[in-house]
Structure formats: structure tokens, C-alpha cells
Structure 1
């Protein structure tokens, strides 16, 4: 199973042109089963869709998952989650409020794409370090509040964290371990790993790479991050 995360910069290209249509072309290049998008809604017009939901289904074979808190909207606090058409939703998507000056959030959902059930958290964290730490704690609380059996869990999105040994990653490390790193920002010459895909057990996430193509470098100020997921991984990452 292939998953991806992509901050699409509200449809503005790396050089400042508003072209949200190019985002769907980049997503098509990814050939992913699950795609988490950030900055994928108009901040001041949350009820106006930025992306063409019809094209997602007809061209990409993906469908957006509406959250229960805003069923008429495409996404939640800038986050839009796309999944393959055949995906089974085991637990309806829930929108999590993470606070921040520009309101941040996350989408929590449980899915099965034919390889077994798993839990997914898609998010975009704030710029302030201490705020990100608080938001990471809220994500862990939401994950651990789930009912039923413990499921393999993926956390993906723009964590805005440049430190490998501090901030949000330090809070998440006891559950998710040290995440694989692949620079995705800025798109024209990536050297920062703001975008992450984490798994709560060893071997769950592998082959993490930035999707670096000419189109991706123009479409947003971030490159997409892509990973292969093996739901057969069963050993927890838990650290002392």
C-alpha cells in the first residue's frame, strides 16, 4: 500500500501562480492509495472547495472523506484526506481541533484497503515549537482513546519540525520511534524535512521518498512525500 502527504500551499505554485489544477496532476503522478493534503482549503472561505472533487474520482480514482463535524465541506481545517475508491471506512473520519493562531487540525479515521485494518492521523502542525509539542500530545491522546483492538497506526502530514531530537518529534518518539527523513521543502531545492510519514511499529513504514518531478517543483512550495506501508508489521516501536 502506498501513502503520501502533500502540503499544496493553498493552490499557489512555488513562484506565486494560483493553479490548484496542477495539484491534481501531481497527485496523479503519485499513484498512491491514500493521500493527505494540507493547506487544501481556502482559510477565509472554508465552505468553498479549492479542488475538483469530481475530477478526483474520475481521473485519480480517489475520493475525499468528509469529517462528521463538517459533512458538507471538503476537508477539515485545511486538511483533505483522499483514499482509493475501494477503501472501506471502518470508523468515520473525525476532525480534531489542535488550536493555533491559524487554526490547525487533524483527521482521524480507521480504514481497510484490502490489506487489513489500520488507523490514520493526517495533520498540519503550527509554526511555534511549544505549540507543536502541545499539538503532538493531543494527537497521541486521540490515537490512544480509540476503542476496539490496537490497530497499526500511521501519522502523516506537515509537522513543521526541523529538529530531529526535539519539539513535536520528541513527544511522538515513544510511540512512533525515529521517523525516516526525506527533505521536501522548499520544493525548488529541498533540504528541510517538514513533511513526515510515521508508523507506530517497526517495519510499518518503508521506502520513504520525496516525489521530485518538474511538475511537483512548480505546483507547490513543498514536494509530496511518499512511503510504502506494510501492514504485516506487528512489533510495536514503543521505547523505554
Structure 2
């Protein structure tokens, strides 16, 4: 069993218009997932400094970040990064560039968790439907080209307002698309923008939206989570 979560932290800017990274760290502690995909972790301009410092993550949470940033003070790639519970081995990690009118990217990490190797992708898709579909296909094409096939989890803010179709249709061709529930806007969630997608060899034991008081203040998105179980390989007949 592995627990995962995805959280668009909006550069740690809360719904009260206060930038409080410590509040985001508290929410991460509440979720207590093994693996977390974060979106909008870095400031947008200048040096793209992370709104969460590596030191605070290491000292005040159970996590360590996978470093995807290309600048010394940046943690993510186009705002995306992955946190793993301390003790989980990062086998490899890489940045993916996605087609877009505006800068977009995704991050990938292969992780050793409880004796199994999992592939995790964190992403934040664009605001325009045509480009979201192209970005989804780009992610799937990249996975297809990788030599080693692994149980895969794709998490992030898909910016897909509809419950089906669009970029979701591309992911659904060969994956489970989990809709944990409405996650936006955190003060009154009505849209399921944040999704968790898995390869067919992973079973969903439970999924939901984390709706604590701190989460409602921490960002305009609520975190989504899932508990997953790797399906045992079938015996040959």
C-alpha cells in the first residue's frame, strides 16, 4: 500500500492573502502521504525562488524534496516538484517539457517504495483545452518511449473543468482516472481540477479531498489524496 497526494500550493499564498509557507507544511503533515506532487511551488518571476525552503521541508516535515529546479533557489520545474517520505529511495528523476503557449512542464521520478519501484509524474496543465490535450499526449508519449515499464502514478492540477472528455479522455485510454472530489475553490469547492491517474496495475483503495481548516486557508486549491495498492501479477495459466 502506498499513499499519495497532489497539492497546488499557489506559491504558499493563502486565501487570506497571506504568504505562509509554514501553513503549507502543516497541511502536508495532516495529509501524511508517502509521496506528494506539488504545483506552483516556486515564485513566478526573478530567480524563481521556492516558496518552501529545502531546510524547512527537511526540518519540519517527514519529507525530502526531489530537486528539479534549474536555479540554486528553485525547487521545481515550471513550479512542479515531488516530495517523498524520508527513507524512500529516488532511483532516477527528470524534467519533461510540455508543448504550450505559456511555459509548462512536468516532473518524473522513479521511486523505491516498500520493495517496489513506482514511477511518479507531477504536472500542471494549461488553461486552454487544445493545449491541455497536447500536453496530456506528450506525457503519455514520453511514458511510452521509456524502456522500462513501471506502475505509474500521474498527479496534478489538470485545469480540466469538465468531468470527462478533453485531456481526461487521453489519460483514460490506458489508465484509471481518479476524481477524488471537488478541490477548487478551497473556500467553496465545486470544481474537480486536481486529479490522480494510475496505470492499470494499481488498485485504488480509497481517495478523497483533504478539507481541514488549515487547508482551506493555505491555498485556493485543496489537496487530493489516494491510497493505492499494487496489483499482484497473475499466475500464468
Equivalent residue, structure 2, for 1:138: 138
| Matches of 2:196 and 2:232, distance apart in 1 | 15
Provide TM-score, normalisation by structure 2.
0.91
Q: CA deviation at 1:107?
A: 0.4
The change in CA–CA distance for 1:234 and 1:14 in structure 2 (over 3 A counts) is farther
Correspondence list, 1:64-103, <5 A: 64-67=65-68, 70=70, 72=72, 73-90=74-91, 92-103=92-103
**Structure number having the greater strand percentage:** 2
2: CA distance, partners of 1:166 / 1:46: 37
| Match in the other structure for 1:238 | none
Structure 2 residue runs of 5 or longer lacking an equivalent are none
The answer for the alignment partner of 1:120 in structure 2 is: 120
Specify the alignment match of 1:191 in structure 2.
190
List gaps (5 residues or longer) in structure 1. 236-240
> Hey, what's the Cα distance between the residues in 2 that align with 1:109 and 1:71?
19
What secondary structure sits across from 1:190 in the alignment? coil
Task: Tell me how far apart the structure 2 counterparts of residues 128 and 11 of structure 1 sit (CA, whole Å).
Answer: 24
8 Å CA contact 2:186–2:220 kept in 1: the answer is yes
Given that 1:104 and 1:126 are in contact with CA atoms closer than 8 Å, whether structure 2 keeps it comes out as yes
- The root-mean-square deviation of aligned C-alpha atoms, in Å, is 1.8
Aligned to 1:106: 106
TM-score, length-scaled by structure 1 = 0.90
5 Å-filtered alignment, 1:1-240, equals 1-67=2-68, 70=70, 72=72, 73-90=74-91, 92-148=92-148, 150-201=149-200, 203-232=202-231
Aligned residues: 232
Q: Provide, for residues 102-136 of structure 1, a one-character-per-residue CA deviation record: whole Å limited to 9, x for no partner.
A: 41110011111224111111100001000000000
Cα offset, 1:27, TM superposition: 0.7
For 1:44-94, what per-residue CA distance to the aligned partner results, in whole angstroms no more than 9, with x for missing partners? 134422112112112212111113x7274311110121111111122x211
Give runs of ≥4 in structure 1 deviating > 4 Å.
none
Distance 1:41 1:24 in 2: 15
In the alignment, the residues of structure 2 paired with residue 173 and residue 104 of structure 1 have an alpha-carbon distance, to the nearest angstrom, of 21
